[in-house]
Each structure stands twice: as C-alpha cells, then as structure tokens.
Amino acid sequence: MERLKYVIIGSGPAGIFATEAIRARDAEGTITMVSEDENPARSPVMLTYWMAGHLTKEMLFFRDASWAKEKRIDFRSNSRVVSIDTASKRITLAEGYELHYDRLLIATGASPISLPIRGKESKGVNSLRFLRDAETILKNASDLKKAVIIGGGFIGLKLACHLKERGLQVTVLEKEPKLVARMFDLKASRIVEERLREGGLGVETDVEVVEVLNEKGWVSGVRLKDGRLFSCQRVIEAVGVRPNIQFLAGSGVQLRDGVLVNERAETNVPGVYAAGDVAMTIDSITSERVNNATWSAAARQGRVAGLNMAGGQQRYIHNFTLNALNLFGLQVMTAGHSYYQSESDVDLFMKEERDSYRKIVMKDKRLIGFILVGDVSGAGFLLSLMKRRVELSLDRWDHLLSSRASDYDLPPYLGFDHGFLFERPEEIGELS
C-alpha cells in the first residue's frame, strides 16, 4: 500500500498538534511541514514574558529542537506557500518548489491588523507576532522610556503589564468605551482599568489615535482625535488579527474572513483541512461562524484535524471563547458570550464584592457566558455547565455566582483542565 503524503502549512500549535496526531495513527506516512518561521513550535503567547525578562529564548518553544527529527518530519523553514492547486493536489512555494499531497492542513495562523494611521511608516511602529518583532521593539532599549499600545484587548493588556515590568512608562489607548470589548462588560472594564492604573499604567478608553508623530524618522509620540498628545519612542498596534488566507485565492477552498471548516476540521475540498487562527469554526453556543484565536483552541483543533487526516472520526466540540489573565495580581477569566449589558432575550446576574466581580449570562435557562474578576474559583463548575448545556432554574442564580466550587459534587472529568474541555470520561487522554 502506498504511503500517504501529508503536508502541513504552519508550525504553530495547530500544525504541531496535528502532526503529532497524524504520527500517532500513521507511522509510515510522509509528513512535510512548511513554515515561515525558522524553528517549529514557537509560542507567540509567551513573547511578552520574554520581553519582560521572565523567559530565555529557548523557553519560547513548546517542543525542543529535536522534535522534527524524532517525529520524522521534513521541516521546511523560512518557506512561504504562494498558491495551492487543489485539483492536482499541489502547493507552490515562494522559492519555486512544488510539493504534492494526499492530505493537506492549512494552519497558517493570523497576522496583526495594521490601522491606516497617518505617520505609521515611522520607525518604532510595530506589531507583535514573531520573535523578531519583539526584538525590534526592544532594540536600542537604552533609549526606550515610553511606549504607547493601541488596543486594549487581552494581548495589549498583557504586553502593557510586561513592558511596565521592564521599567517603561506605558499607555494603553482603546477606541472602544471599554477594554476587551468582545469579552468584558463596562463594570469588568472599570475594575481592570483601576488595577492597571494602580500598577502604574496609563489607560484611556473611547479615544482614537489619528497620527503618529516623529522626529528624524523615529516615533516621538501620537496625536488623538481630541487633540491630546502622548510622547513615546514606540507605538505597538494590538488591535486584533486577520487570518492568513491570501495564498488561497483561486484554490477553490471556501473562505469567509478565514477558512470555513466543519466540526471535523474539513474544508469544502476533500482532503484539505484547516485549524487554528486561520479557521472559521462553529460556535457551540450560537452555531455562528467564529474565529476562536486562542492557543488552546488552536491546539485542540489541530488534534482533531490530524486524527481525521489519518483516518479518524473525531469532532471538535465545546467551541467557545475562553481567556484567563493575571494583571498585576488581579486574576481575570472570561468565557463564552459574557459581554452583554442588557438584552431582552438574556438574563444577567452579577455579584460584586470589595475585590471581586462575578457575572453570569443565561439564555433560555442555559449558561452561555461568564466573567470572573479577582476571584476565579468555581470556573470549572461554570464551564462544565456551559459544556453540558444544563437547563438551570433562574431562581437559583445565587448558587451559580458562588465561588465555592467544593459545594458542587462534580465528577473529576468535568470542568477545566489545562485548556482542554472534556465531555465524557472516555475522552480523557483522547480529545476534547
């Protein structure tokens, strides 16, 4: 029997976990991984920790340098795919080489969005995706005193805190009226803003940067729409990401703000799969198409894709957003559709104490989202309710807001375990 040829485009968590899943089922097939990175298994979520001095460069990788050889992977570094011919099952690389495949995984991730701001061509304007981006931001660090971060999402806030740890004066400028607009409500945003300011950060919401100022070609500050000026030597854009799909034009792969996939990580083209930040998956709560751009989601999607590429029959389940963050000691966790302020078809329950804020969002008597600020205990219980879509009594909302997770006699396989969500006991050690 002829060995299958697998090609993986991308070496982030989706690509790595897919490759390992393939190799676990198919010991004989050939696997080629094509990546624009020099090394596989780089963890972009850890870059800010390296910038703060908490990690060495070697610790930025979640697999060691011998990984590709041990798994018998033909790793093509510093290579970019420019086109895919799905009819002939052939991909073309920028350097002119062609690769043939039987099974193909698109795991090209996403790139930071760049805003159309006047003066953004100035030296010192950066985004953060690769290690080289982090190195560029910190270049000539002896002259680096102030930084402005455009964007108050989770990435922007984490970066701000870590740059502050380096001794920089950092200001976060967010266009929306609240931080983390897709996950926070106004109350959660205000609590987080207060903690960030206590930690020494500048935080401005409901503001818009209209110009980057420069002196001799280098950033010297930014101008807001209201006329205020903020001096700085670096401007870092952290306003979201856009899936890397340009090379798929004309391939026949169905696109809509990303690569459309079903619950098996399959595209509309037989033999072609997609996973990670490039994929548009199905939200398990709303059934709408979403780009769940988190590390754990990419890892889980990659595992599903890899197993199915090698002949498995797995589904990607429990697909909703989940984020956790520590901001100057303030623990924050959000999940699902938590941002509602007041809607006619949802029920909101909130509990605020001196150092914590807890909010649950219910629709049709089922939990669809929550926010935990300060005290994040009981998160596993809430997640288990969301996963199982348990019908709940609205008159017992106070129990749902309780932080005493031990009050609930939950089986050990329910809840949250290192970023993986398990539905049934038999899924432990297999898939989430």
Q: What are 223's two structure tokens?
A: 């101008």
Q: Mean pLDDT of all residues in the chain? A: 89
Which architecture does CATH list for 125-239?
3-Layer(bba) Sandwich (3.50)
Q: What is the pTM of this model?
A: 0.89
Distances (CA, A) of 403 to 302, 376, 381, 382: 33, 7, 10, 10
Q: So what's the pLDDT on residue 209?
A: 98
Q: Which whole number is the average pLDDT over 311-326?
A: 90
Amino acid identity of 138? Answer: L
Model pLDDT for residues 346-356, shown as the tens digit of each residue? 889 999 987 78
Topology match between the domains 5-111+242-309 and 125-239: yes
The secondary element (H helix, E strand) that includes residue 360 is: strand 356-363
Kindly provide the residue ranges of all beta strands, DSSP E only, lying in 179-294, ordered along the sequence.
Answer: 202-205, 209-215, 218-224, 229-231, 234-237, 241-243, 259-260, 272-274, 279-282, 289-290
Q: So what's the pLDDT on residue 404?
A: 56
Q: Is domain 340-427 given the CATH code 1.10.3470 in the classification?
A: no
In the chain, where are the structural domains located? 5-111+242-309, 125-239, 340-427
Q: Which whole number is the average pLDDT over 196-211?
A: 97
Q: What are 60's two structure tokens?
A: 């930025």
Minimum mean pLDDT among 162-176, 302-316, 328-342: which range? 328-342
CATH number for domain 5-111+242-309, candidates 3.40.50.9100, 3.20.20.370, 3.40.50.970, 3.50.50.60: 3.50.50.60
| pLDDT surpasses 90 at 162 | yes
| pLDDT surpasses 90 at 141 | no
Q: Please, which pLDDT band fits residue 128 given cuts at 50, 70 and 90?
A: very high
Q: So what's the pLDDT on residue 224?
A: 98
